[in-house]
Amino acid sequence: MKKIALVEYGKLELQDNWEGVRTIQDGTVKVDVSACSICGSDIALFKGKRSLVDERYFGHEFSGVVIDAGAGANGITSGMRVGSELSRTCGQCWNCLNGLPNYCKSMNDALLPGGFSEETLVLNRPDYSFISPLPDEIDDITATLLEPTNCAYHAARQANITPGDSVVVFGMGTIGLITACILKSMGASSVIGIDNSKERLAKVRELNLVETIDCNDKDWLEQVRERGGTFGVDVVVEATGAVQVLKNAFDAVRPGGKLVVASVYHGPAGDLELLPIMRKELTIKGAKGPFPHRKTEGSSAALETLVKLQGELKKIITVYEYKDALKAFDDMMSGAALKAVIKFK
């Protein structure tokens, strides 16, 4: 069996003769992985910015087929096509009862060893459903976008836009791009993506997903105001994880506007000027995905969104064979790929 192993921080190894998952544990199902995409958090693990000891899995954005359904909780059966969505909610703890199901449980131990291997165990108990059954309309490669789409959908919901709002999204990585596409579908009048990678911006323009501005341009703020509103845009989404971009976000948003922070900061705020929060009367919201937003009949709102927008969203994917996995990681880090998906089948 094949496995892409993170043997130490900064070092990946293709293990062609991995022994596979030997025993199924209580409360888990075994999934035959079709494909797994590389998340920004996988890159953070790779670089040692997150701890493999704490998180204990590598690769969480995968699709595949259940080959052993264990106790069959949540209607999961053998042979079912599934995608990882991370909707973990018991419905009974304080977090769940107070509108914060995304805090219900830790993801640690949810996957063993994770989606960068040909098969993996996945926790699936009545109170913890990591996977969602996939409808026929979506293919295995596109379905690897389910978890990032879930995070982006939550960020878009946190933005709580009014149709006609102008929007700027900082960071044209996966979450920024998908959030931008969702906000457009929700009725934003203009959505501008801002990034500092010329390569990434060229790709976004080529795919014609959103308008773009290069933040290396000296007049980037004038460009924002020209296109999004004289005093700034109604909503800014920060999806870079770079503290200094928050300053740009404060500049780009109009007085009384909203700022959604949908990224992970690994460093302190340094000398960031915080006065605009009061001066501009900003509303600042965090967005910690994934979040189990459900339709009234219980189905996943993120999955429905992905199916609906898949024609656009699948454009961001570059597919790599397992043997080219190291290049896939390099291309994600350089911006040569917007979203790298590694194919096992």
The least distance separating Zn ion from the CB of residue 39, rounded to whole angstroms, comes to 3
Q: What is the C-alpha separation between 131 and 87, in angstroms, rounded? A: 8
| Residue 67 contacts Zn ion per CB under 5 A | no
Q: Shortest approach of Zn ion to residue 37 CB, angstroms?
A: 8
Q: Contact region for Zn ion (CB under 5 A) — 102-110, 132-140, 229-237, 294-302?
A: 102-110
Q: How far are the Cα atoms of 43, 249, 264, 295 from residue 190, in angstroms, in the given order? A: 31, 16, 25, 27
d(CA 276, CA 289): 26
Which of these ranges, 56-64, 69-77, 211-219, 304-312, lies near Zn ion under the rule CB under 5 A? 56-64
* Amino acid residing at 302: A
Task: Name the token pair of 3.
Answer: 């496995």
Q: Per CB under 5 A, does 90 bind Zn ion?
A: yes
Identify which of residues 259 and 332 has a Cβ nearer to Zn ion in the complex.
332
Name the one range near Zn ion by CB under 5 A: 4-12, 99-107, 194-202, 326-334. Answer: 99-107
The backbone torsions φ and ψ at residue 158, rounded to the nearest 5 degrees and listed phi first, read -65, -30
Q: Which is nearer to Zn ion, 90 or 242 (CB)?
A: 90
Q: How far, CA to CA in Å, does 134 sit from each of 22, 80, 145, 148, 239?
A: 26, 8, 12, 15, 27
Helices 146-159 and 301-313: crossing angle, nearest 10°? 100
From 48-56, 82-90, 207-215, 319-327, span contacting Zn ion (CB under 5 A):
82-90
Closest CA to 249 of 288, 257, 164: 257
- For Zn ion, the closer of residues 212 and 300 by Cβ is 300
Q: Is 83 left (phi over 0), alpha (psi -120 to 50) or beta?
A: beta
Q: Is 93 in the site for Zn ion (CB under 5 A)?
A: yes
| Burial of 56 from C-beta contacts in 10 A (0-12 / 13-18 / 19+) | middle
User: Interacting stretch for Zn ion, rule CB under 5 A, among 86-94, 194-202, 239-247, 279-287?
Assistant: 86-94
Q: Phi and psi at residue 270, in whole multiples of 5°?
A: 60, -130
How crowded is residue 109: how many other Cβ atoms within 10 Å of its Cβ? 14
State yes or no: residue 243 binds Zn ion (CB under 5 A).
no
Task: For residue 104, state whether it binds Zn ion (rule: CB under 5 A).
Answer: yes
- Work out the angle between the directed axes of helices 146-159 and 174-185 (0-180°, nearest 10): 60
43 sits near Zn ion (criterion: CB under 5 A): no
Closest approach of Zn ion to the CB of residue 23, in Å = 27
Q: Using DSSP, state whether 205 is helix, strand or coil.
A: helix
264 binds Zn ion (CB under 5 A): no
Considering only 28-36, 43-51, 90-98, 220-228, which stretch makes contact with Zn ion by CB under 5 A?
90-98
Q: Which of 21, 69, 96, 215 binds Zn ion (CB under 5 A)?
A: 96
Of 102 and 248, nearer to Zn ion (C-beta) is 102
Number of residues that bind Zn ion (CB under 5 A): 7
Nearer to Zn ion, 276 or 292 (CB): 292
Give the interface with Zn ion as residue ranges (CB under 5 A): 39, 61, 90, 93, 96, 104, 147
